[in-house]
Amino acid sequence: MLRYRVSLGQALTGANAAFDAADWSAYWQGTETEQDTYEVRRAVPPRTPPAQLDRTFKFDESTFGIEFTAVKSLGSGSLVHHVVYGFEATRSELDELRNGLQTDLTTGATTPTILGETFPLRDLPLSTVVEVGAFVQDEMQLDDAHWTLVPALRVDYYDVVPESDRVYREDNPATEPAGVDEVSFAPKLGAMYRISDRVGVFFQYAHGFRSPPPEDVNIGLEVPLFNIRAIPNPNLRPETSDGFEVGLRLTGSPVALTASVFQTEYGDFIESKVNLGVDPATGVTLFQSQNVAEARIHGAEFDARADVSAWSPRLEGWSGRLAGSWTRGEDLTGACRSIRSIRHVWCSACATTPRRCAGDRNWR
């Protein structure tokens, strides 16, 4: 695997009408993944001669992106606003290809057909993915210093343009790859009440949106050896969510603690590679990504940190941390099964606590 990244950024200082401080960056990054398999098989008389199998899997992704974030403080006295706003945009190119060649070690004859597959193959069409997002967040500090309100809004545009080239068409003659073109509005509201200098309680609501990934919409993968096939779902709908969280936060030293309970209600939850059973016409086991009309994820988590040197000078430099979480997902449509696609992300707005940001978006 080869990874590369080139970036250019600038920090802007000096208060003006638009911001007190800001930074921007532009970058080009990508990964090139290649897996080569070399295999020699002995003869199995009288039908199978000795053979050499050479197979290659490649997946390349390159992305160009730009980001801008600014901070502005407004107001004074009874109400102070700390506004964070910005935007980000990326354009990614996806290229996946499998190739192979089988050589008869007795005659030297070659064939691109290996174990029922004729190479080259594309399981995913060439795709261009464009993502553009803009956000604004206002942290409002009330004059009594107890209440902090944080309303926010994020707007995203997501566009997938597939290209059906010769290799993909030959492998998927009955499938026309589908594009995705979606716009989402994701509001968020947070509130915190400070009981004391160290102790506070918080509440958060966030609406989320997740567009169907290209690999779920347009995958076309068949493995004859195992009699399975993953089929595309061009009718896959975007996933929406409404998440609620309530918690307690203790800051300072020697002990800091965050504990919370959460619940997220999903509409059209995207569950990847669902086993549809055996196709009666072909006898092949089919897999397809599908929407779950209603789903719920709930749970609890905590993160405690301690500076043990505060209790004994001999423990200078020592610290401890204890963290845990419990999560459960449910299909609410009556299918009597658990949701297995529980997604966790690191949220830049939540320090180092893992939690389920709405729509897999990282609020800044």
- Whether pLDDT at 327 is above 60: yes
Fold of 187-364: Maltoporin; Chain A (2.40.170)
Contact 213, 232 (CB under 8 A): no
Q: Give per-residue pLDDT as tens, 25-52.
A: 999 999 999 999 999 999 888 778 899 9
Domain boundaries, the chain: 187-364
* Average pLDDT rounded to a whole number, residues 278-307: 93
Q: Give per-residue pLDDT as tens, 157-174.
A: 999 999 999 999 988 888
Q: Give per-residue pLDDT as tens, 207-223.
A: 999 999 999 999 988 88
pLDDT value of position 334: 67
- Whether pLDDT at 196 is above 80: yes
Judged by phi (left if over 0) then psi (alpha if -120 to 50, else beta), residue 274 lies in: beta
Q: What is the DSSP letter of 50?
A: -
pLDDT value of position 356: 38
Question: Global pTM?
Answer: 0.80
pLDDT value of position 337: 52
- Per-residue H/E/C for 156-202: EEEEEEEECCHHHHHHCCCCCCCCEEEEEEEEEEEEEEECCCCEEEE
Q: Which amino acid is at 37?
A: T
* Chain mean pLDDT for the chain: 88
* Average pLDDT rounded to a whole number, residues 230-238: 93
Q: Which residues contact 42 (CB under 8 A, 6 or more apart)?
A: 50
pLDDT level of residue 278 (50, 70, 90 thresholds): very high
